[in-house]
Amino acid sequence: MTIKIGNAPCSWGVEFANHPRNPSWQTVLKECAEAGYKGIELGPVGFMPEDPAQLGDALAEHELELIAGVVFRAFHDVEKWDDVLDGTHRTCKALQAHGAEHIVLIDSISPRRASTAGRATEAEQMDQAEWAAFRNRLATCARIGTEEYGLTVGIHAHAGGFLDFEPELERLLDEVDESMLKICFDTGHHSYAGFDPVAFMKKYLDRISYMHFKDIDPTVKADVIKHQTDFYEACGQGIFCKLGDGDVDFPAIRQLLLDGKFKGWCTVEQDCDPLLNPDPLGDSRKNRTYLQSIGFN
C-alpha cells in the first residue's frame, strides 16, 4: 500500500504557535513517534524551530518525516494580508528546507461566520467583489507555493471560515487553475459542514493531493449546531472524536483511495483542547490502531 499515515500538532491541541497551553514541540515529536507515526506536520509556523538544523536533528532523532505545513490565517480580511503573506513565505521556507511536499491553505475563523459553522443556509455570504478579492488572495499564495517554492498546494475547507461549505469549495476549484491549486481534503470538516465526505471524494479524487483524517461525533455536532457553539468550544466538547467513533465512513474512504491509486500521506488530526482532552498520546495511539484495523498499515 502506497498510503502513509502521519499526525499533526493539532492532535496535541496546538492551533497557534505561542499559545501558553501548548505542549512543547519536543513533546509533540516524541509522542508522535511513540504512537507509531512516521510523519508529522509542521503545525503553525513558529511552533517548531525555524532553524533547519535544529528541527532536522530532532526529526531524525525520532525518525519522523516532515509532511506538510498549514497557513491558517485570515485570507478573508484584506487588512491581514501582510500577515497571510508572512505565514505563507515562512511556512514554505520551512517545508522546503526539510524536503516536505505539501502546503495547505486555510481561511481562518471569522467572527462573521463562527456561529454558523455547520449551518450552510444561514451563513453570511461575500458579495461578488469581496469574493473575487478573497479568491485572488488564495490564488496568489497558491502561486507562491507552487512557482517560488516547488510545493504542492492544497485548499482546505474549515468550519467557521469563508471557505466552509461544499459549494464554496467547488466555486474556488472552478475559478483557480488545477495546476496551481489541489485539495487537502479534511473528512471531519466536510462532515461538520453538513456534507458527505465520501460523495465529495468520488467526484474530486483526481484533484485531492493530500488527506486529513478527522472524525465527527454526530451527537456533539447536532448540539453545537443547535446552540451555535464557537468552534473552539466545540473542540473542547469533543466534536472531533477518535477515528471510528464518529460519522465518517473510513472503510469507504480507504477503498476510494485504493481504487483511485492514491499515493502519499493521510494525516490524522484530532483537534482538541489540551486542558479538556488530556491524553493526546493515548488518543493518537488509538487512532493509529483503528486505521491499522481497517487496513491502513
Q: Exposed, middle or buried by CB within 10 Å (0-12, 13-18, 19+), for 23?
A: middle
d(CA 59, CA 63): 6
Query: Cell 454526530 identifies what position?
Result: 218
**What pLDDT was estimated at residue 278?**
79
Q: Are 114 and 144 in contact (CB under 8 A)?
A: no
Query: Cell 496551481 identifies what position?
Result: 180
Q: Any bridge partners for residue 71, and if so which?
A: 105
Query: Cell 479534511 identifies what position?
Result: 186
Q: Are 207 and 178 in contact (CB under 8 A)?
A: yes
| Helix 52-61 × helix 81-97 angle, to 10° | 50
Name, in order, each residue with C-beta under 8 angstroms of 208's C-beta and a sequence gap of 6 or more: 154, 182, 183, 184, 185, 201, 262
Name, in order, each residue with C-beta under 8 angstroms of 2's C-beta and a sequence gap of 6 or more: 261, 262, 263, 264
With b for 16 or more beta-carbon neighbours within 10 A and e for fewer, the 43-53 pattern comes to bbbbbbeeeee
To 10 degrees, the CA torsion angle through 163, 167, 169, 172?
-100
Set of cell numbers at residue 99: 524536503
DSSP 250-262: HHHHHHHHHHTT-
**Domain spanning 3-293 has what CATH number?**
3.20.20.150
**What pLDDT was estimated at residue 1?**
53
- How many Å separate Cα 255 from the centre of its chain? 21
- From the list 111, 213, 216, the residue with the least C-alpha distance to 160 is 111
Which contacts of 132-136 are long-range, i.e. CB under 8 A and separated by 24 or more positions? 133/78, 134/75, 134/76, 134/107, 134/162, 135/172, 135/175, 135/176
Domain parsing of the chain, residue ranges = 3-293
pTM: 0.97
**What pLDDT was estimated at residue 16?**
95
| 142 dihedral zone (left: phi>0; alpha: psi -120 to 50; beta) | alpha
Give me the average pLDDT of each 10-residue run along the chain (297 residues): 92 94 96 98 98 98 98 98 98 98 97 92 96 98 98 97 98 98 98 98 98 98 91 87 98 97 96 83 97 96
Phi, psi at 23, each rounded to 5°:
-70, 170
Which segments of 41-108 does DSSP mark as H helices, in order?
52-61, 81-97
β-strands 39-40, 65-66 pairing: parallel
